[in-house]
Amino acid sequence: MKKLFTVLYLCLSITAMAQTDTAALGAGATDMVFYNATTKVKTTASNEDWQLAFGVRSAIPPYKTNQAAVIRINEAIGVELYKSPAQKVSGWSSFDTTGWRGWQRMHNPDTTWTIGAFNVNKDFGNDYNYGWGAYSFGPHSVIGDSSVYLLKMQDGSFRKIAILNLQYDTAYNFWFDKLDNTDFTAGQVRKRPYSNKMFAYYNLDTKATLDKEPAISDWDMVFTRYNNTVFNSSDLSQDMGVLTNDSKIVFAAGGSTGAQTCYSGPYSTYINVIGKTWMASAAPDSLSYFVADAGTSQTLYKFAMNYFGGSYTGNMAFTIAATSCSTTGVSDIQGTQPLTVYPVPAADVLHLTLASDAAYDADLLLTDISGRIISRQTYPIASGQNSISLSTATLQSGNYIISLTTATGKESRMISVIK
């Protein structure tokens, strides 16, 4: 039975005094800094020398299949991705960019590491569909759908690119070239050399695969420049903020929490809970963030941002304190599979799906991150597959929390809404 993240905590002791530290991203935030909250080790890597990031983790059915075939772009340096509405690999040499500004522009969601720009057309009802292609049981590979994409580079030049396949879950194969067909390259990124990482990075100029991350078990959050999808759906902002490892869950406590060391949640698996929200506040340290280990929720860190030195220095100062907390009643929703929420982010409507082996009434609560109740509704859940549609048409762009509660448990998700 899957354990839920929204739990009650019994605070036992504070195991360490709060420490103040600084992540130095460099002038213009040209670097990304991976941070280990336990060891305080910081790993700095350039955020300027890559255009593509390929997910290298294996699929873990049924809920972590997409992490195996996620492909992201480096929007932080101005890389843009557009999908041709009709052109296929069969017409590679005659790829026509007429009207490209009207093509679908594809973005990385900033709520998850498991969906990238190449995955945004994924069929969320099919675990074997990855947007750019689908898993084929015959060759045991993800086969690309033959689409050709236009990639605008950070210097304003263009490349055409097609993702051919993910062969045996071992290697991505792809083509890319300049538009005048003078630099054709059959690229490949193998997973095995990066098996303990989240991504392998690729530079289209040097045609090299780059190892940039520490081991996935060695960092909790990354201070970085990224595309903020909550800002504006047509002209997204490149912001500097904090994204968390998806092995962590986070709760943002609205207002000053003083000496509060443990928090009952609801915790979120979204990686942008810290994000840049703190930067918009007149007093950045007025928000406290509680970081726990997903699944176990045994160790929490109380995290707060102190100041941002601006793009001139790229310095972000923060305070972090380790706290020992133990669960006092980790609850399950009996007989229910975890709640699935899509699309991420949402615009006018949000869809929720779950399967149950029993009938019951569920309470669906929608709040903002400070806990203010926006809506509350009761839905009858039937035995079998259930679908709920929640209108988000009247919501402003931002982050919200939805909580589904029954007599036997509670499950929560943070959602993003963009307009």
pLDDT given for residue 409 in this prediction = 62
pLDDT mean by block of 10 residues, the chain; 419 residues: 33 56 92 95 97 94 83 95 95 96 90 90 82 93 97 97 96 98 98 96 98 97 83 56 90 62 70 77 66 72 85 87 56 50 81 80 77 82 84 82 70 75
pLDDT given for residue 331 in this prediction = 36
Task: Say which residues have a Cβ less than 8 Å from residue 262's Cβ, sequence separation at least 6.
Answer: 9, 10, 11, 290, 300, 323, 325
Check residue 247 and give left, alpha or beta (phi > 0: left; psi -120 to 50: alpha): alpha
pLDDT given for residue 284 in this prediction = 62
Rounded Cα gap, residues 358 and 336, in angstroms: 8
pLDDT given for residue 328 in this prediction = 36
pLDDT given for residue 329 in this prediction = 32
pLDDT given for residue 143 in this prediction = 97
pLDDT given for residue 294 in this prediction = 77
pLDDT given for residue 136 in this prediction = 93
pLDDT given for residue 13 in this prediction = 36
Residues of the chain with CATH 2.60.40.2550: 340-417
Q: Which fold has domain 340-417?
A: Immunoglobulin-like (2.60.40)
pLDDT given for residue 257 in this prediction = 54
